Structure 1
Amino acid sequence: MMIVDLIDGDDFRDRLVALGIRIPEGACPETCARMARCKQREVGVPRLAETVRELMARTDIMLPSVRDAIERFLLPELR
């Protein structure tokens, strides 16, 4: 039996925090995406677009709440 590590809200938050975005512990995926969008609009976030592309390439193991947050708040911002 193969066990797959899903991309959940904590993983999403951790990736954004690694990019220098300050996000409170326990923030939901929507809050994480909104805060990332705000930071992108204010000062830009190096590697945000690359990180989003990497995540979206893994939608098969991504929780729907994370995918929805990325699609609603980050993809339109990064186009």
Structure 2
Amino acid sequence: MMHADLIDQEDLLGQLKALGFQAPNGATADQACECAVRGLNNERAIVLRTMVKQMYTSGATILPAVRQAIDRQLLPALAEYQQSHRAR
């Protein structure tokens, strides 16, 4: 049986929850990412960065809604967090 690796909203939500992030069941990718970046600290930022890197380098197809949520929510929040903590 051929199976293409896809990362959809449920996969993203599942990965975030498995890493200890809180998001409501049935959340959209945008909502899940928004929840994940609330209260960022060093540990959470590292975990999120690692998750995104693994998703982007895994060879899996990331569905457009998930990629857009990561690009709009996670990456800017991580960049802002890193910038504000580098300046200290």
Same fold (TM over 0.5): yes
What do the CA deviations read for 1:12-70 (whole angstroms, capped 9, x no partner)?
001100111111111000000100111426x8515111001111224751100000000
Cα separation, 2, equivalents of 1:32 and 1:59 = 22
Give the 5 Å matches for 1:13-32.
13-32=13-32
In structure 2, the partner of 1:47 is 47
Give the 5 Å matches for 1:1-79.
2-40=2-40, 44-45=43-44, 46-58=46-58, 61-79=61-79
Cα separation, 2, equivalents of 1:68 and 1:76 = 12
Number of aligned residues = 78
Gapped runs of 5+ residues in structure 1?
none
Percent identity at matched positions?
36
RMSD of Structure 2 on Structure 1 (CA): 2.1
Which runs of structure 1 show a deviation greater than 6 angstroms over 4 or more consecutive aligned residues? none
Relative to its length, the structure with more strand (as a share) is 2
Gapped runs of 5+ residues in structure 2?
80-88
Q: Which amino acid aligns with 2:18?
A: A
- Bigger Rg, which one: 2
